[in-house]
Amino acid sequence: MELFDPDEFFNQQEIAGRYQLKEKLGEGGLGVVYSVHDRTLDRIVAIKVLKAEVSEELAVRFQREAKAAARLQQANILQVLDFGVAGNYLYLVMELVEGRSLADLIEERQFLEWKEAAPLFVQICDGMANAHYNGIYHRDLKPSNIMLVDGEDGETLVKIVDFGLAKSAEGDQSLTREGAGIGSPLYMSPEQAEGKNVDERADIYSMGCLMYETLAGEPPFMGATAVETIMKQVSEAPVPLSEKSGRTFPDAVEDCVRTCIQKEPSKRFKHFGLLKDAIEAVPIQAPETRSESSFIPESASNTKPRIIAIATTILAALFCFFAYNLMTSDAPEVVPKKENSPQDPFVNPISEKIEGDPKTVAKRLFDVRDLETGVRVKGGMGTINDQNLELLLAHPDMSGVESIRNLDVKRTMITGETFDRLQGLAISEVRVGYCPLTDKGLAVIARSKGLRQLYLENNDSLSKDALKGLGQCPSLLYLEVSGKQLDDCSITDLGALKHLLYLKFIELKLGKSALKTVSGLPRLATINFRKCEFAPGSLSFLSRCKNLERVTFELSVLDAGTLTDLLKIPVKSILLDRTEVEPGVDLLDLAKVPGLEEVDIAQCKGVTRAMLVALRKAGLRVKFKPLITREDKDPFGLEELSKSKMLGPQE
- List residues bridging with 528 in a β-sheet: 504, 552
What are the residue ranges spanned by the domains of the chain? Answer: 6-95, 99-334, 549-651
Q: Strands of 28-115 (E only): list them.
A: 31-38, 43-50, 80-86, 89-95, 99-101
Neighbours of 24 (CB within 10 A): 11
> At residue 454, does pLDDT exceed 80?
yes
What average pLDDT is seen over the chain? 79
Q: Which CATH number fits domain 6-95: 3.30.465.10, 3.30.200.20, 3.40.50.2300, 3.40.50.450?
A: 3.30.200.20
Residue, of 103 and 155, whose pLDDT is higher? 103
Catalytic (active-site) positions: 140
Q: What is the mean pLDDT of residues 333-358?
A: 46
**Residues of the chain above pLDDT 90, percent:** 42
Q: What is the mean pLDDT of residues 147-170?
A: 70
Neighbours of 274 (CB within 10 A): 17
The CATH number given to 99-334 is: 1.10.510.10
Instruction: Label residue 221 by pLDDT band (50, 70, 90).
Output: very high
**385-389, 449-453, 619-623: least confidently modelled range:** 385-389
* Confidence at residue 5, expressed as pLDDT on a 0 to 100 scale: 73
pLDDT tens digits, residue range 489-498? 999 999 999 9
Nearest to 425 by CA among 386, 394, 468: 394
For residues 257 and 506, what is the distance between their CA atoms, to the nearest angstrom? 38
Q: What are the two backbone dihedrals, phi and then psi, of residue 609, each rounded to the nearest 5 degrees?
A: -60, -40
> At residue 645, does pLDDT exceed 50?
no
Residue, of 156 and 226, whose pLDDT is higher? 156
DSSP code of residue 413 = B
pLDDT tens digits, residue range 425-435? 889 899 998 88
The reply to whether the predicted model has a pTM over 0.75 is no
pLDDT tens digits, residue range 177-203? 333 344 688 999 998 887 788 889 999
